[in-house]
Structure 1
């Protein structure tokens, strides 16, 4: 049976004046150290939600126009509805996943770094 051991407190390491790399190790909790803005992590889900909402709303309008006997291709409204809903739900579900990942790990997972 494994026992979880706490990590020892780490000192703040300042890079040398001539060193190009800056490594920051600190004993502060992760929620006090904020290197990036939340937009860095949430830009893709928010973009998906915005695009999905617009396409879904466009599908509602196209479907309403079709049922009011305006000359609109009959499949365009339902296609926009389904694609918009898919984007909207994907973005909504993605937001708590990122929030939970950042809360427990302190940084985004590897697959989020690959997609940026």
Structure 2
């Protein structure tokens, strides 16, 4: 999906990628949605809130909308009372799986390094 109207240094694809998936919450949201997509399931809004208890409802809504705008995730509203809203990775979003997995592995290593360097 070529994108040319972004606000970063000319020709910097890393900066563009970080604009799309960066921030405090998007990586975690993508990680949990990718994990559920590996099990062929989607995640409901309130389930994401339970998994990520420190995010506010407003911030979660904002981050999900931004990820939906970039076509990384899909939002499905089921016509029930009360409405049931589910989120899932799109095929395009699933292309991030190796990146998110690499970040997970690096994060585990970084946590291990911090634990040993503080002792």
Q: TM-score scaled by structure 2?
A: 0.26
Could you say which structure has the larger radius of gyration?
Answer: 1
Higher strand share: 2
